[in-house]
Amino acid sequence: MILKLNVTLHYRLSEPMDLLLQIEAADLADQRVRSAEIWTSDVAHFSRVTADDGIGERIWIHAEGDFSCTYLAEIAVDRPALDISVLSQTPLHLLPGETIRHLMPSHYCPSEQFHAFVDAEFGNLAGGARIAAMRDWIESAFSYVPGSSHAQTTALDSFAQRQGVCRDFAHVLVTLARASSIPARFVSVYAPDMTPQDFHAVAEVYLEGSWHLIDPTGMADADTMARIGVGSDASSVAFLTSFGSMDLINQSVSVTRQA
C-alpha cells in the first residue's frame, strides 16, 4: 500500500528560538520512503539528528518570526496485519538490551501503579492474548473525546476519567503492557482513516522477538500506518517542540492511500 503525505505547519514565534521538528516518516524495512521533500521558511539553522531507538530523524531549527514548514512524501507500507493474540511473550531474561527501557515507568506512563489492576483484570491471559484483551478493553471502556485531556494528562488520569484522545489511549495501553512485563513504546504515525486527519498516536509492543503496532482507538490497522518516531511516551515523540512560546497560525495533515 502507498501512503501520500501532505503536511503544513505555520507558527508565530514570540522571539528567536530553537525548535525540534519530527514530522518525517521513517525509512524502515516495513515502510520504504519512495519520495520525500521538506521545505521551511528562512531559518538560521537546520540540522538532522537521530531520533529515539534509531527510528527516523529529528531536525534542529533556529528561527524567528513566522516559521512555516511543508512536508510531502510517498511511503510504501509493506507490513502484514497479524493476529496479535496468538503471539507469545518473550521471557524477560531473553529480552534484548534496547527493549529494557520500555519495560520501565515513564513520565506519562506510571506502570508501577497498575500491577494489581492488570493481574485482577487480565491475569488469566499472557503475551499477545493479554495485549489483545487490553486493547479491546480500552476501545470499549474509553470514550474518544477531543479536548478532554491536555499536555499534563497521564495514563493514570485517563484511566480514572475513561476518556481522552489517541495520545491518551496509547499511554494507557503502553502502561498496562509494561505493568504486565511486556516492553511497550509510544509511537507517532501517519494513518489514512483518521477523521479529522491529524498526527496519530498508537502503541507498539514487543512480542516473539519483534515490535508490533497496535491502535487502542480502533481507528487504524497496523498494515496502514507509517511510523514517524517512537519513545517512552508522548514527551519524546512530539512533532514539534519549541524552546520558547509560540502561537499556532495554521496546521494541516493529509494522508491518502493508493492501492
Q: Are 234 and 186 in contact (CB under 8 A)?
A: yes
What pLDDT is recorded for position 81?
Answer: 86
Count of C-beta atoms within a 10 Å radius of residue 149: 18
Q: Which three cell numbers stand for residue 177?
A: 503492557
Contact of 41 with 63, CB cutoff 8 Å: yes
Residue 40, pLDDT score:
97
Terminal CA-to-CA distance of the chain, rounded, Å? 5
- Classify residue 53 as left (phi > 0), alpha (psi -120 to 50) or beta: left
Provide the residue ranges of all domains of the chain, joining segments of one domain with +.
Answer: 1-76+237-256, 90-234
List per-residue pLDDT tens for the chain, 259 residues long: 999 999 999 999 999 999 999 999 999 999 999 999 999 999 999 999 999 999 999 999 999 999 999 999 999 999 998 899 999 999 999 999 999 999 999 999 999 999 999 999 999 999 999 999 999 999 999 999 999 999 899 999 999 999 999 999 999 999 999 999 999 999 999 999 888 889 999 999 999 999 999 999 999 999 999 999 999 999 999 999 999 999 999 999 999 998 6
What per-residue confidence (pLDDT) applies to 213?
A: 97
pTM given for the model: 0.95
Contact 74, 258 (CB under 8 A): no
Q: What is the pLDDT of residue 56?
A: 95
Q: Using the CB atoms, write b or e for 75-102: b if 16+ within 10 Å.
A: bebebeebebeebebbeeeebeeebeeb
User: Which residue, 25, 139, 33, 31, is CA-closest to 79?
Assistant: 31
Residue range 1-76+237-256 in CATH 2.60.40.2250: yes
Q: Residue 196: what pLDDT?
A: 83
Per this entry, what is the length of the chain?
259
Measured CA to CA in angstroms, residue 22 lies from 146, 212, 239 at distances of 23, 21, 5
Cell of residue 238, nine digits: 512530539
CATH 3.10.620.30 for domain 90-234: yes
**Nearest alpha-carbon partner for 228 in 90, 56, 89:** 56
Examine domains 1-76+237-256 and 90-234 and report if their fold is the same.
no
Cβ burial 223-240 (10 Å sphere, 16+ → b, else e): ebbbbbbbbbbbebbbbb
**Alpha-carbon gap, residue 36 to 4, rounded angstroms:** 10
- pLDDT score at 193: 84
Query: What pLDDT score does 258 carry?
Result: 83
